[in-house]
Amino acid sequence: MNRDNFDLSVYLVTDSTMIPEGSTFMDQVKKAIDNGATCVQLREKKIETKDFIERARAVKKLTDAAKIPLIINDRLDVALAVGASLHIGQDDMDAKEARKLLGEDKIIGVSVSTPEETKKAIADGADYVGIGLCFSTQTKVTHKIPCGPRGAQRILRAICECESDLKTCLIGGINQSNVSRVRYQSGIPDRKLDGVAVVSCIMAQEDAAKATIELAGGWNDTPAWCQSIRRLDLDQKALVARVREKHPIIHHITNNVVKNFSANVTLAVGGSPIMSESSPEFDELASFDGGLVLNAGEATPENFSMFIDAARAYNKNNKPIVYDPVGCPASAYRANFTRSMLVEGYFTVIKGNQDEIMTAAGMSLGVSGGCDSVSNAETKTVLGIAQKFALSTRSVVVVTGKTDIIADGIFDGQTDLVDCDVSKQRVALIDGGSPMMGSITGTGCSLGSVICSFVAANREDPFKATVAACRFYKDAGSVAAELAQHKGPGTFQYLFLDALYQSSIGSDLVSEF
């Protein structure tokens, strides 16, 4: 097998302890190879050396016939005995020493989790690195913290810095349900991930052939949520009208203190609100035409699994999610909650104030206040952070403030960021609104309701829909504040709802009051 020409896209790592009843180890491996596995790693932790070599020879007959590499995990002696390639961990001998013993013609892979380990692997002459841990997994006992698909980006940047051709694959909890997202979110503008390494989603399946086909399809095909993406040639009025025409169902998991206001705002703009925190119905709700507002105001340990269930249901059904990391700079717990959410789910739009977005992006200015906290970073600085965060998450990022800053990370639906012209990344700055909007609880959170309504009704262009939603919201706030002069927040609140409604039905705001 040529060290310069091997395919890591569907990398099967074997485990003989999880074979389903009615099948055998060799059956599972053969079905995987016959149906799209591009590389096989033989990993055996509890087997005698003689038996390991015997099994390796049997598997190598299959891999040789398919012209794909067989890679032995850890055991240099077994690799030498059967003429296979080798994968080593951080606790094993380094790749440089392994190369001296294995020879120049064999592939050597190294497990890494940091840029420093990656640069050492490059210096030692490794051919690829296995990056982990992507998601939590029961397959292997480990103390590593899951890095999510975006965890691969640090490794890819390190490889680019070294000007290396080192190949990469990501491992840990990857399966048919998330492989498309892994590829979509793992890349950087200069480099993409080469593949995914999987265990149980093939080895433990009753139909290993079907499982392999589905995994390969998930890796190779354009993600379902990208297939309808295109730039809409619609003006503001048309984008607004679509919301009332389509009447999307907007599922809210949100802060208790804003539920009523968020529901009324959703109704005012033409959406149909529903409040549910019941995991058993999430999949059904996600099947409707609409989207999810996931607001972290109730970020309790008890709610974490419910948040994950909701994100997975809407990701599975390819429906938009607007994630609002409310108050994430206020405590280490909330910051970690947000980071975990970004690992576990894909969000079409991520919306927050400056401090919240900086914390979510890992660029916090330090612990700050609650949901109304706003830092004073310059617009140019915040715009740069929003752009980078949007590219990293492949989401639309909204930084709210006196001027709303919106950056596009979705582009035109390309699977890989390397295929996007990032120099033409769309951004928007939206002025307007009124300080009065901050005088009532819920205006920040309910912007998420409006964005979700607009994105659900204008699925083809999430960026343009988000820009339209923010402009619509600020315009209504400006009109309501003008009419509420010399009065208080109570008057402003009902005038604001009326302004949202009048605008949504196409009325001239000023003339209607």
Q: Is 197 part of a structural domain of the chain?
A: yes
Q: Are strands 349-353 and 128-131 parallel, antiparallel or unpaired?
A: unpaired
Is residue 461 in some structural domain?
Answer: yes
62 and 194, same domain (yes or no): yes
Q: Which two tokens stand for residue 496?
A: 């604001």
Q: What is the pLDDT along the chain (513 residues), one digit of tens a residue?
A: 678 899 999 999 999 999 999 999 999 999 999 999 999 999 988 899 999 999 999 999 999 999 999 999 999 999 999 999 999 999 989 999 999 999 999 999 999 999 999 999 999 999 999 999 999 876 555 557 899 999 999 999 999 999 999 999 999 999 999 999 999 999 999 999 999 999 999 999 999 999 999 999 999 998 888 889 999 999 999 999 999 999 999 999 999 999 999 999 999 999 999 999 999 999 999 999 999 999 999 899 999 999 999 999 999 999 999 999 999 999 999 999 999 999 999 999 999 999 999 999 998 544 444 544 445 678 999 999 999 999 999 999 999 999 999 999 999 999 999 999 999 999 999 999 999 999 999 999 999 999 999 999 999 999 999 999 999 999 999 999 999 988 999 999 999 999 999 999 986 654 455
Q: Who contacts 117 (Cβ-Cβ below 8 Å, separation ≥6)?
A: 90, 110, 129
**Tokens 């339209």 sit at which residue?**
468
What pLDDT score was predicted for residue 373?
A: 47
Contact 113, 147 (CB under 8 A): yes
Return the CA Rg of the chain: 25
Show the DSSP H helices in 67-140 as ranges: 76-82, 95-102, 115-123
Whether residue 231 is contained in a domain is answered as no
pLDDT at residue number 138: 66
The dihedral through the CA atoms of 145, 148, 151, 152 has a sign that is positive
- Contact by Cβ (8 Å): 179, 196: yes
Cα angle 411, 414, 418; round to 5: 95
Which residues make Cβ contacts (< 8 Å) with residue 215, sequence separation at least 6?
A: 10, 36, 175, 176, 179, 196, 198, 201, 202
Q: Is residue 81 part of a domain?
A: yes
Pair 178, 310 in one domain: no
| Residues 61, 209 within the same domain | yes
Shortest CA distance to 131 belongs to which of 212, 69, 195?
A: 195
Give the pLDDT of residue 369: 47
Determine contact, residues 83/69, Cβ cutoff 8 Å.
Answer: no
How high is the pLDDT of residue 366?
A: 47
The number of folded domains in the chain is 2
121 and 185 in a single domain? The answer is: yes
Please check whether residues 198 and 258 belong to one and the same domain. no
Residue type, 453: S
Does 285 share its domain with 371? yes
Do residues 138 and 263 both lie within one domain?
A: no
Burial of 391 (0-12, 13-18, 19+ CB in 10 A): buried
Stated as kind and residue range, the H or E segment containing 244 is helix 236-246
pLDDT at 368: 47
Q: Which are the contacts of 507, defined by CB distance < 8 A and separation ≥ 6?
A: none
Straight-line distance from the first to the last Cα atom of the chain, in angstroms, rounded to the nearest whole number: 76
41 forms beta bridges with 13, 71
Domain boundary among 224, 257, 288: 224
Angle of helix 179-186 relative to helix 151-161, nearest 10 degrees, comes to 40
329 and 427 together in one domain = yes
**Prior bond to 133 cis, omega within 30?**
yes
Residue 417 structure tokens: 């960021």
Model pLDDT, residue 82: 98
Residue 120 Cα to chain centre, angstroms? 28
pLDDT recorded at residue 510: 47
CA–CA gap between residue 117 and residue 145 (Å, rounded): 16
- Name which of 457, 441, 429 is nearest 326 in CA terms: 441
Determine, yes or no, domain membership for 114. Answer: yes
Task: Judge whether 311 lies within some domain.
Answer: yes
Give 188's DSSP letter: B
| 305 and 181 within one domain | no
- Would you call 445 a catalytic residue per the annotation? yes
- Pair (251, 220) in one structural domain: no
What is this structure's pTM? Answer: 0.94
Same domain, 214 and 294: no
CATH number for the domain spanning 18: value is 3.20.20.70
486 falls within a domain: no
Which of 178, 198, 224 is where one domain is finished?
224
Annotated catalytic residue, options 328, 445, 452, 470: 445
60: left (phi over 0), alpha (psi -120 to 50) or beta: alpha
Domain residues for the domain of 436 are 236-476
Are 213 and 260 found together in one domain? Answer: no
In a domain, 123, yes or no: yes
> What would the DSSP string read from start to end of 282-316?
HHHHHTSSEEEEEEGGG--HHHHHHHHHHHHHHHH
